[in-house]
């Protein structure tokens, strides 16, 4: 792949509103506003391409640099080149990706770690200890652990900011992963008292070593129980669909097995996590009769499972479950999870808050929230959920698919329930243009604010009737989602600035 071809892909994924939010959060950001998950997909397809990586890094574009950090060939980097790369990082985002995917695997990693960890530059010192953490996790050069602990005990209390953060993580990772050093790590943590007085949300794990290490050990033991991968051939209780879930090797494979409705529900959740928490590790945990995609940060996790008739969402912080049920009483609460049937609409605002509270963030990221939730207005969101939940299962599924497409394609669209003075139905507006959805007797009615849109949908089936400004789709007819998307694009692109 040529760099020019890749930049064409990035420009196609550009989102101006998202770019503005990224710049607000990080003034050094110079990308197109592409989400982290999309960047990872591109890098995964490319694999390792050292020459392309050098070109992308040299461009200075933030999105291109994240991809470059994932596709550099560590074996082709010498000590000087590694240092030039880390010194040229513009943000902690590219810094962390570079450490995780490239520098931690370079031959010079240990030399660089010991060279950087004493730097007066907080950014460089953090890089040195990040390399140490990577070695601890990957079980490399374990004979150096005693010297790491000696240095941590001597220096961590005086370290500042993110430098201290990553030293503390190194201490806790050693205590969690290596039982022979657990007692010493706890003693060091108690002696230094770093983060002892930090307040965290109820149910969350403190970064204080005396709390983080024991919690991490419990979590690790629970996740390391050996599990076999059954199949429909070896287990008569397992359906072919369940077998396909278990055979999945990646989260993407897992999602592909889901029905289109399940995919529509889970994709915005995954985007939210990968965009706001790029440091979250993605794992596919295999249980006796199902696989569970997990997103893990330290000892905290959010995961989901596609069951026969519902989607299960699991949170390591069980304190968040009551709020989800309160947001939509049709959600069923179980031990450690909630079950959401296909006919039930997910209260996205409450869900994102649950994710934030699980990952130690009491206050949701406002800019990310604006991109994914239906609306910042809780009254409007509640009204939309109430309207959808009042419909039959078939109507609920159809309305949710349409709404999700509008939210994904036109994040700038303004949601409201005020279609008319006496008509309260889900309506999405951009300027003078709008798309509204109404459930009427034996059919679903879609109103379009642009002449000609109804004809696009009506051409899909002779039983679909086009009226002035709206189209009626009977329940007995398959939802023509392709034509509906075209009609929505034809309508909303008129005032959105998006080309048709």
- Judgement on whether residues 301 and 412 belong to the same structural domain of the protein: no
**CATH classification at residue 383:** 3.90.1150.200
Listing from the earlier edge strand, what are the strands of the sheet with 470-474?
Answer: 414-420, 423-430, 433-440, 443-448, 470-474, 465-467
Number of alpha helices (DSSP H) and beta strands (DSSP E) in the chain? 23, 12
Separation of CA 318 from chain center: 20
Q: Does 227 score more than 70 pLDDT?
A: no
Where residue 72 falls among pLDDT bands split at 50, 70, 90? very high
Secondary structure of residue 477 in the 3-state scheme? coil
Q: Estimate to the nearest angstrom the gap between the alpha carbon of 78 and the chain centroid.
A: 33
Q: CB of 384 within 8 A of CB of 368?
A: no
Indicate if 279 and 382 belong to the same structural domain.
Answer: no
pLDDT digits (tens, 9 = 90+) for 235-291: 443 344 444 444 556 777 777 777 777 777 888 888 888 878 877 888 776 554 456
Q: Choose from 121-125, 161-165, 260-264, 389-393 the range with maximum mean pLDDT.
A: 161-165
CA proximity to 45, closest of 94, 9, 97, 91: 9
Write down the pLDDT at residue 104.
84
**Residue 346 sits in which domain range?**
240-367
Same domain, 342 and 244: yes
> Do residues 245 and 361 share a domain?
yes
What pLDDT shows up at residue 296?
Answer: 85
Residues 6+ apart with CB under 8 A from 484: 402, 405, 446, 457
Regarding whether 383 and 363 lie in a shared domain, the answer is no
Domain contains 421: yes
Whether residue 281 is found in the same domain as residue 339: yes
Q: What is the CA radius of gyration of the chain?
A: 25
Is the pLDDT at 314 greater than 70? The verdict is yes
Provide the mean pLDDT of the chain: 81
465 phi and psi, to 5 degrees?
Answer: -105, 130
Per-residue pLDDT, averaged over 357-363, amounts to 64
Q: Is pLDDT of 439 > 70?
A: yes
Cα within 13 Å of Cα(279), Cβ side = 12
Question: Would you say 298 and 205 are in contact if contact means Cβ atoms under 8 Å apart?
Answer: yes
Give the pLDDT score at 494. 64
In a domain, 361, yes or no: yes
**Cα–Cα distance for residue pair 138/177, rounded to 1 Å:** 10
* Listed residue (117, 122, 180, 190) closest to 153, CA to CA: 190
Q: Give the span between the Cα atoms of 401 and 342, in whole angstroms.
A: 12
Indicate whether 126 and 205 sit together in one domain: yes
Residue 138: which of 119, 111, 165, 110 has the closest Cα?
110
Instruction: Transcribe 102-125 into DSSP letters.
Output: TGGGSTTHHHHHHHHTT-SSHHHH
349 contacts 317 by C-beta, under 8 angstroms: no
Task: Tell me what pLDDT residue 162 has.
Answer: 82
Number of domains in the chain: 3
Q: Is the dihedral of CA 153, 157, 162, 168 positive or negative?
A: positive
145 shares its domain with 212? yes
Quick one: pLDDT band at residue 372, thresholds 50, 70, 90?
very low
Asked whether residue 232 is assigned to any structural domain, the reply reads: no
**Rounded to whole angstroms, how far apart are CA atoms 299 and 291?**
20
Give the other-Cβ count within 10 Å of 367's Cβ: 17
Tokens matching residue 313:
């969402």
The answer to which of 81-85, 130-134, 420-424 has the lowest mean pLDDT is 420-424
Helical residues (DSSP H) of 156-257, grouped into ranges: 161-177, 179-192, 209-223, 240-247, 251-257
Residues 200 and 292 in one domain: no
Within 10 angstroms of residue 144's Cβ, the number of other Cβ atoms is 16
| Residue 112 sits in the same domain as residue 215 | yes
Residue 389: which H helix or E strand, with range?
Answer: helix 378-389
The span from the first CA to the last CA of the chain, in angstroms, equals 28
Assign residue 4 a region (left: φ > 0; alpha: ψ between -120 and 50; beta: otherwise).
alpha
Kindly state whether residues 189 and 255 are assigned to the same domain.
Answer: no
Task: Supply 308's token pair.
Answer: 């026969």
Q: Which of 174, 195, 224 is the last residue before a domain boundary? A: 224
% of the chain at pLDDT higher than 70: 86
Give 139's Cβ-side CA count (13 Å radius). Answer: 3
| DSSP code for 31 | S
Owner of token pair 């077998």: 243
> Between 473 and 349, where is the model more confident?
473
Least confident interval from 32-36, 88-92, 301-305: 88-92
Is the same domain home to 355 and 443? no
**Strand 332-334 vs strand 291-297: parallel, antiparallel, or unpaired?**
unpaired
Q: Of 367, 394, 410, which closes a domain?
A: 367
Backbone dihedral angles phi then psi of residue 161, each to the nearest 5 degrees: 50, -130
Question: Is residue 356 a contact partner of residue 364, using CB atoms and an 8 Å limit?
Answer: yes
Do the Cβ atoms of 198 and 242 come closer than 8 Å? Answer: no
In a domain, 258, yes or no: yes
Residue 168 falls inside a structural domain = yes
Q: Confidence class of residue 232 from pLDDT cuts 50, 70 and 90?
A: very low
Question: What pLDDT is attached to residue 235?
Answer: 41
Q: Tell me what percent of the residues of the chain surpass a pLDDT of 90.
A: 22
Per the domain annotation, does 41 fall within a domain? no
Per the CB < 8 A criterion, the answer to whether 280 and 96 are in contact is no
Please, which residues have CB within 8 angstroms of residue 150's CB and are 6 or more apart in sequence? none
Q: Are 348 and 373 in contact (CB under 8 A)?
A: yes
Question: Which among 192, 224, 256 is the end of a domain?
Answer: 224
Q: Dump pLDDT digits (tens) for 190-209.
A: 999 999 988 876 556 788 99
Mind listing the pLDDT tens digit for each residue in 126-141? 889 988 988 888 887 7
Q: What is the pLDDT of residue 231?
A: 46
Instruction: Specify if 317 maps to a domain.
Output: yes
Q: Is residue 6 part of a domain?
A: no
Q: Three-state SS for 177?
A: helix
Question: Which residue, 313, 181, 287, is CA-closest to 229?
Answer: 287
- Integer Cα distance of 64 and 132 in angstroms: 26
In sequence order, what are the beta bridge partners of 473? Answer: 444
Band of residue 229 on the pLDDT scale cut at 50, 70, 90? very low
Residues in CB range of 214: below 8 A, 6 or more apart? none
Query: Helix 209-223 to helix 161-177 angle, to the nearest 10 degrees?
Result: 50
pLDDT for residue 154: 94
């Amino acid at each position: 792949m040529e760099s020019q071809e890749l930049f064409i892909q990035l420009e196609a994924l550009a989102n101006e509103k998202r770019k503005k939010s990224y710049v607000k959060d990080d003034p050094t950001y110079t990308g197109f506003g592409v989400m982290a998950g999309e960047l990872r997909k591109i890098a995964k397809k490319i694999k390792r391409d050292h020459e392309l990586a050098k070109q992308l890094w040299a461009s200075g574009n933030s999105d291109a640099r994240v991809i470059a950090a994932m596709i550099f060939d560590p074996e082709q980097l010498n000590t000087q080149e590694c240092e030039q790369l880390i010194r040229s990082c513009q943000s902690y985002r590219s810094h962390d990706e570079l450490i995780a995917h490239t520098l931690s695997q370079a031959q010079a990693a240990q030399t660089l770690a010991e060279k950087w960890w004493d730097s007066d530059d907080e950014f460089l010192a953090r890089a040195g200890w990040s390399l140490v953490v990577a070695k601890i996790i990957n079980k490399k050069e374990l004979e150096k652990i005693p010297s790491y602990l000696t240095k941590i005990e001597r220096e961590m209390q005086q370290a500042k900011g993110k430098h201290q953060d990553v030293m503390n993580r190194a201490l806790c990772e050693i205590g969690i992963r290596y039982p022979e050093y657990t007692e010493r790590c706890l003693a060091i943590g108690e002696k230094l008292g770093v983060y002892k007085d930090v307040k965290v949300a109820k149910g969350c794990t403190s970064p204080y070593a005396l709390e983080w290490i024991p919690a991490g050990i419990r979590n690790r033991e629970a996740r390391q129980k050996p599990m076999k991968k059954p199949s429909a051939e070896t287990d008569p209780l397992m359906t072919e669909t369940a077998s396909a879930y278990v055979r999945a090797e990646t989260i993407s494979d897992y999602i592909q097995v889901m029905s289109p409705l399940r995919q529509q529900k889970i994709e915005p959740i995954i985007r939210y996590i990968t965009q706001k928490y790029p440091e979250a590790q993605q794992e596919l945990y295999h249980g006796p009769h199902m696989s569970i995609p997990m997103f893990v940060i330290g000892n905290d996790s959010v995961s989901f499972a596609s069951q026969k008739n519902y989607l299960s969402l699991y949170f390591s912080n069980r304190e968040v479950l009551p709020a989800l049920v309160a947001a939509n009483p049709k959600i069923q609460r179980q031990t450690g999870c909630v079950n959401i049937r296909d006919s039930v609409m997910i209260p996205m605002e409450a869900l994102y808050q649950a994710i934030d509270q699980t990952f130690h963030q009491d206050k949701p990221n406002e800019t990310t929230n604006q991109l994914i939730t239906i609306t910042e207005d809780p009254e409007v969101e509640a009204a939309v959920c109430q309207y959808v939940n009042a419909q039959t299962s078939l109507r609920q599924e159809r309305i949710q698919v349409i709404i999700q497409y509008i939210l994904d394609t036109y994040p700038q669209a303004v949601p409201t329930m005020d279609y008319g003075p006496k008509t309260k139905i889900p309506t999405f507006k951009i300027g003078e243009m709008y798309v509204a959805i109404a459930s009427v007797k034996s059919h679903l009615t879609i109103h379009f604010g642009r002449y000609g849109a109804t004809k696009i949908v009506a051409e899909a089936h002779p039983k679909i009737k086009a009226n002035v400004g709206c189209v009626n789709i009977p329940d007995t007819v398959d939802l023509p989602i392709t034509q509906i998307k075209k009609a929505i694009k034809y309508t909303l692109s008129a005032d959105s600035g998006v080309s048709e």
